[in-house]
Structures are given as structure tokens and as C-alpha cells.
Structure 1
Amino acid sequence: MLGGLGQLARPDAVTSLRFLSQFVETPATSASAPVDNDTSATGSPLRSTSTTTTTTTTTTTTTSESGLPLPRSRPSYALDCGAGIGRVTKQVLLKAFDHVDLVENCAAFVRQAEEEYLKSEIESGRVGEVRCSGLQNIEFEGTSWEGRFDAIWCQWVLGHLTESDLIAFFQRCMKGLKPGGMIFVKENNARVGIVIDEDDSSMTRSDQIWKEIFERTGLRLLRDESQQGFPSGLFAVKMYALQPM
């Protein structure tokens, strides 16, 4: 759920598509693009903060490389990590990729994705495997997901991983990428350091800490941007486009 803020589904999806369009040919990247407004779709632990506000300022770290080998690489595959019932899959990833697989820790959400929210997409073959697993346990090497993905998308889920588990997860993700594939991260940002949520013990990391983790993991930051269109009073949200060094 969008933290009780279902009205943020559209700006979240539109901004994500615009960010992806810098690396992938996407058919729907404008504010008028059709976005599913099903606000019951899980996938965002948005939290308010009295010390930070969102910003529409865009910051970039660019390279001369073109990013994903699309649209030349067909069919294209993406993985939605911490997918909930598949809101990001339906509203973002399926607009940019031919096929999407999902991994989600909650068995109830997996059932809802398979039996309701993504039923038609599964029947059409556009959504493939839906694994029920925590990210700290997911494996790529030696499985059908080794070398499969053009993109691995992680949104509002990595705060549940400790730093050591997060680094190990990213390193395993590299085994799941095609040559030239990328990892995308979209997460809340603390202004400084780490903010611990008292309810679920999840961590909201600062932009500086995220970038230090990416470097330690062996991920090169190609571009980062701030989420637009969210009200003030929430944690800032940033998107990061990454490739293995």
C-alpha cells in the first residue's frame, strides 16, 4: 500500500517511467500516459518526517554509455524485487519490458498477485515466475534467473536489509543480469545518516550512505534523480541507475 497515500500511485509511476526512458525505450513516459490507479496495490512504505521534505531538483551522474541494450535486445526481461501484489510490475515495468518476474516475501501478497492483480498478465505470459522469498535468500547463480534480466528493479524494500545483507544481495543480483544489464533502486532518503523506523525496524538511509554502499558493492552509478510530485512532509525519494563496474 502507498502508506495510505494512494493518490501518489500516478506520480510515482510516471516519474519511474521517465527515469527508465533514459535507458529503455518506453511507450508511456508522459504525465498523460495511462497508469493503473488501483490504490490497493501494495509496494510503498512511505513515511512522513518532520525533518525532511521532497524536492523536484534533479541530480545526475551520467556517463557516455547508453545503458540497457534495448530495444535491440528482444525479448526483454525485468525483475521486480519486493513486488507486493505487483503494482510496480503492472504500472511501470510491463510498460518498458516484454516480460517481468517477481520476488515477494509475503505469501499472501504472492497469492493475490497470482490469483487477482496480475492474473491476466500471468495468463498472457508477460508475467512469468513469482517467487515467494526474502531478498536476503534469493539466488540467481545456478537457477533459471542466472543471466536472465535486462533490469532488476528494487523499490521501497531495501530498507529491510542490513548493510551486509544488502551488499550480498546486490552482488548476487549481478549474477542475474544480462551483459549490459542494470539495477535500479528507488528508496526513501534520510537527510543525514540512517533513520530507524520504530514500528518495523527498517532503515531509511541518506543519499551519501546509498552511494557509499553502491561503491563498496562494485556498482557504478550512471544516474540519480529525485521523485517529483510528492507532497512535502515525506521523506525525499531518489532513483538510482546502476551497472556492475
Structure 2
Amino acid sequence: MLGGLGQLARPDAVSSLRFLSEFVTPPATSSASSIVNPPASNKDTKAITAATQTGSTTESKNRQKLPLPNSGPSHVLDCGAGIGRVTKQVLVKAFDHVDLVENSAIFVKQAREEYLKAELESGKVCEVRCSGLQNVEFEGTSWEGRFDVIWCQWVLGHLTEEDLISFFDRCKKGLKPGGMIFVKENNAKIGIVIDEEDSSMTRSDVVWKEMFAKAGLKLLREEVQKGFPSGLFAVKMYALEPIF
């Protein structure tokens, strides 16, 4: 989903790890802390961190970090994972275990047999499931109550409003107590921009927040991705928790 702009992978990963670090304590053996808190000589990473625009609620500032005590190893689900770029560059650094769900059987095969082979063999990546998000189920499966975090990046634009709200509602069954949903998606300036070529839509910040409210999700924090070239859609990260 970087559209051939491979140079965006690092600022994307750095910003995602920094955003997650507000809510998640990474494993002791993780390299995430050195990325989130770069040494003084690392000017590029420091510039990305300093330039980030952040908005948060009082609840997010006082929220206990995941994983919660006595909840076991941390576990995250990467939704619309492709071959696992976000898993490899972000999520395995921030969590003990990662599961993936991806609609393309070709990408699933590549993730299992090539790109994430080492992570699967080590147990960092546990399950790679082939399914569209409109069909993925949590309740009554091994994914019920499994995840500290469900991470959705550059995939939700393929879901209609009805399917998106239904997906969010089902995600609640996949979360541990205190679990969260993170969304990282392109933002249109106004309304919804339809891409006829790939049958996707880019929602504005206002529309995203309407979707979250309709799905019974509370917005705890939002942040604009920095370090991307001008001329692209703005990218925004949202940290959400279910309203019960």
C-alpha cells in the first residue's frame, strides 16, 4: 500500500511505533524503544518524532498500558496484512505475538513461505488466516478474547459503511479486557473520494469519526503521519476503545 514509494516505509514504521508506545509496553527484548526514543545522532528519526501532531483525551493520558497485569503475553492482529510488512517492521517489535488476516491467497502464501517464515518458525507470528474483513469472525473461534490490540492499516477503505461498522462490532469480541483498536488510513479533505480503479474509498477525518461513533468506539488519541511527500493523501492514526 506504499504505491511504489518504498522510502516511506521507515517514517511509517517509526510513527506507528511511537503512536503505539503511548498505549503498549513492548516486550523486554524488543528494539522498539531504540526506535521510539532515538539516540541524539539519529536526526531523521528525531525529526519525524518532533514533527508529529498529536491530539489526545484525558482518558488516554491516564490509561494503563497494555498488556494489562495477569493478561498473559501481548497479542496483536494485523488486519489486511498483505505479505506482512507492518507485522515485520512494526508489530513484532511492539508485541509478543502477532496474528495476520489477509484476503489475498497469494499474499498469504508469500507471507507464510517467504516474508514471515523466520517469524513463524520462532513463534513471534502465530496464525496467518486468509479471509476478507467482512467475513472474519472472532466469537466462537480461537480469536475470541485473544488480542490486546487489533491493528488496521490501509485496508478499511475497501469496506462499505455497513461492512465497516459490522467489522468493528465483531472486533470487540476479539479483544481482551481493556483491548484497543488502532486505525491508520488515508484521509480525504472533504467527504469520501471513490477510486473506481481499485473499488476503494478514502474517507475524510469527519467521516472516519462518524464511523467510529456509529460502531460504538471511543476515540482516545489521533495523530497525523509526518515525513511523507506533499501531494499524497494525509494519513492519520486513531487509537480507539469499545464503549460498553
Partner of 1:211: 209
**What pairs up with 1:27-176 in 2 under 5 angstroms?**
27-28=31-32, 29-30=35-36, 32=38, 56-63=52-59, 64-70=61-67, 72=69, 73-176=71-174
Residue pair 1:76, 1:150 contacting (<8 A) in 2 also: yes
Q: Classify the secondary structure of the residue corresponding to 1:200.
A: coil
CA distance in 2, matches of 1:30, 1:78: 19
State the 1:93 CA deviation. Answer: 0.6
More helix as a share of residues: 2
Partner of 1:25: 25
- With structure 1 as the length reference, what TM-score do the two structures score? 0.87
CA distance in 2, matches of 1:31, 1:203: 35
Gaps of 5+ in 1: 34-54
CA distance in 2, matches of 1:115, 1:147: 28
CA distance in 2, matches of 1:89, 1:71: 22
CA distance in 2, matches of 1:71, 1:229: 32
Q: How much is the aligned-residue C-alpha RMSD, in angstroms?
A: 1.6
CA distance in 2, matches of 1:93, 1:205: 25
State the 1:59 CA deviation. Answer: 2.9
Q: Classify the secondary structure of the residue corresponding to 2:199.
A: coil
Cα gap change, 1:21/1:134 in structure 2, threshold over 3 Å: closer, same or farther?
same
Residue pair 1:24, 1:71 contacting (<8 A) in 2 also: no
State the 1:25 CA deviation. Answer: 1.6
Residue pair 2:191, 2:207 contacting (<8 A) in 1 also: yes
Partner of 1:226: 224
Matching residue's letter, 1:76: S
State the 1:62 CA deviation. Answer: 4.1
State the 1:155 CA deviation. Answer: 0.1
State the 1:228 CA deviation. Answer: 1.1
CA distance in 1, matches of 2:64, 2:3: 32
Cα gap change, 1:8/1:181 in structure 2, threshold over 3 Å: closer, same or farther?
same
Q: Classify the secondary structure of the residue corresponding to 1:58.
A: strand
Q: Classify the secondary structure of the residue corresponding to 2:221.
A: strand
CA distance in 2, matches of 1:4, 1:200: 16
1:4 matches 2:4 = yes
CA distance in 1, matches of 2:220, 2:72: 23
Residue pair 1:62, 1:223 contacting (<8 A) in 2 also: no
Cα gap change, 1:3/1:222 in structure 2, threshold over 3 Å: closer, same or farther?
same
Gaps of 5+ in 2: 40-50
State the 1:32 CA deviation. Answer: 4.7
Residue pair 1:226, 1:237 contacting (<8 A) in 2 also: yes
Q: Classify the secondary structure of the residue corresponding to 1:141.
A: coil
Residue pair 1:68, 1:150 contacting (<8 A) in 2 also: no
